[in-house]
Amino acid sequence: MSRFLSPAMEAVTPYQPGSQPQNTQGVVKLNTNESPFPPPTAVMDAIREEEMRLHLYPDPCCRQLRQAAAEAYGLQPEQVLAGNGSDEVLYFALRAFCDSGRPLAFADVTYGFYSCLCSLLGVPAHIIPLRPDLTLDPGDYCGLGQTVVIANPNAPTGIALPPKALARVAASNPDNVVLVDEAYVDFGADSCLPLLERYKNLLVIRTFSKSRQLAGARLGLALGSPELIEDLDRVRTSLNPYNVSRLAQAAGVASLRQHRFFEETRRQIIQCRQWTAEQLARRGFELTDSKANFLFARTDAMPGPELFRRLWQQGVLVRRFDTPSRIGDWLRITVGTLEQMEKVLDAVDTALKGEC
């Protein structure tokens, strides 16, 4: 770093994304929870049609996208805000609802970007440990009087809470915003969207990166009361009023209208997740009850770092976390196609036999 960097930024620990090897030939890449399926034809057609207008700024209000999202989720357009990925939406939320005197409460084992945002924005982080079995106790968040963010399903555990548990959190913190990050909700968990009408302090965050095959487009949504959305939009227009590109907007609208493709790809991932979990359990692995498009698993037969290394030697790339230390032996494995998961299991068998 240069000598010109501010002390505040020098103290920030940046988020570390999963590895993105540029040459993926022969690699089974299952470390960043991307969809194994390309976008549907209608989405690609919408992108190509919009390419001829790239000399023009995109609609800063994302009107067509907000309308399509409202129709898809049973809301009004004024209850929707679009962002350059859900990470940007989270930034807007923390900038709007937290500051040096208003902390953010979140779990110790969860999406690492929450902690990074707190560090970047000077927001105190109130970190609450998960239970020993890696489940989240909603009672730990009731009556905190703080802004709360809960990933549901959680990452990297994949464990989900029922909406009624999150309703308790929202009801017990009426003067604070409760963010529910539903990045993985489409893979088997129940959404909190039906709660929005009752709890005006509830904000649901969605992404197009997982179940809608658009990780490369960078597109996310905030869904909540018109008042909360107006607060987020105040931050957005003060920072980056043209935050969602023409291509991403077009892709998002088309994706939200591809109901059959969405349901079919979602079904395939859920089925493949269940099959892979059963196969790993037969091999003695311990797994969480994941409702996401990934599995979280460990085995007593080999330390996590060693298993990770042996899988990578065979061209299978998964994700491992060094912190907190209690999940150091766990691996997060994205659910790919059946063919990919068969290769994972072959690599696991080879690794555990000591043949690599």
Contact 99, 116 (CB under 8 A): no
pLDDT bin (cut points 50, 70, 90) of residue 15 is confident
Rounded to 5 degrees, what are φ and ψ at 236?
-55, -50
pTM attached to this predicted model:
0.96
DSSP symbol at 141: G
* CATH for 7-38+260-352 (3.40.50.150, 3.90.1150.10, 1.20.1250.20, 1.10.20.10): 3.90.1150.10
Q: Strands 319-320 and 331-334: what pairing?
A: antiparallel
* Alpha-carbon distances, residue 263 vs 17, 124, 197 (angstroms): 28, 40, 26
pLDDT tens-digit map of 62-89: 999 999 999 999 999 999 999 999 999 9
* CATH for 41-258 (2.120.10.30, 3.40.50.720, 3.40.640.10, 3.40.30.10): 3.40.640.10
Contact 79, 272 (CB under 8 A): no
User: CA angle, 139 as apex, 203 and 117 as ends, to 5°?
Assistant: 45
**Residue pointed to by tokens 């990074």:** 116
Residue 56 to residue 59: CA distance in whole angstroms: 9
pLDDT tens-digit map of 189-236: 999 999 999 999 999 999 999 999 999 999 999 999 999 999 999 999
pLDDT tens-digit map of 298-321: 999 999 999 999 999 999 999 999
Long-range contacts of 88-92 (CB under 8 A, 24+ apart): 88/218, 88/220, 88/240, 88/243, 89/205, 89/220, 89/221, 89/222, 89/232, 90/114, 90/117, 90/149, 90/179, 90/181, 90/205, 91/117, 91/121, 91/235, 92/222, 92/232, 92/235, 92/236, 92/239
Residue 102 to residue 94: CA distance in whole angstroms: 10
Domain boundaries, the chain: 7-38+260-352, 41-258
pLDDT bin (cut points 50, 70, 90) of residue 116 is very high
Residues whose CB is less than 8 angstroms from the CB of residue 67 and which lie 6 or more positions away in sequence, other chains included: 77
- Mean pLDDT of the region 276-299: 98
